Amino acid sequence: MRIMGLDIGTKTIGVAVSDPLGLTAQGVKVIRRHTWNEDIQELSRIVEDYQVEELLIGLPRRTSGVLGPEAERIQREGDKLGKTLGLSVTYWNEWFSTVSAERVLLEADVSRERRRQVIDGVAAAIILQNYLDSHQKSH
């Protein structure tokens, strides 16, 4: 079963997809946001191309664990995405995913301009991989 992981921002959506066995995550792309319909069309293509069966959406919690206004916005949008795409939605703490993505890209000596272009996709892959790892340990 393939899972699509999303790192939803106001300007971009980072997209990652798991392998069919749910063991590894790979960054697929970063969608530059335009309109709701254009975003949905792009996500629908990915769902179809990869035969995605579930959505995993990164949820930014505060260090106290509390959900702030940004997390609530993402939950509203995530619920709408799941309904529109016909997929169940799981939310996963994205704590430090962007910081981790930045570190990975710096270690790989990726230029500043290229980092800006791909960081959300890498963050989505990190969020999804953390989720997959936690479920492999519990099974």
Report the chain (139 residues): mean pLDDT per 10 consecutive residues: 92 94 92 95 97 93 73 93 96 72 65 67 86 75
7: part of which helix (H) or strand (E)? strand 2-8
The pLDDT assigned to 23 comes to 93
What pLDDT, on a 0 to 100 scale, did the predictor assign at position 42?
Answer: 96
For the entire predicted model, the pTM comes to 0.83
**Residue 106's pLDDT is what?**
61
Residue 33 is given by DSSP the state P
> How far out from the chain centre does Cα 128 lie?
7
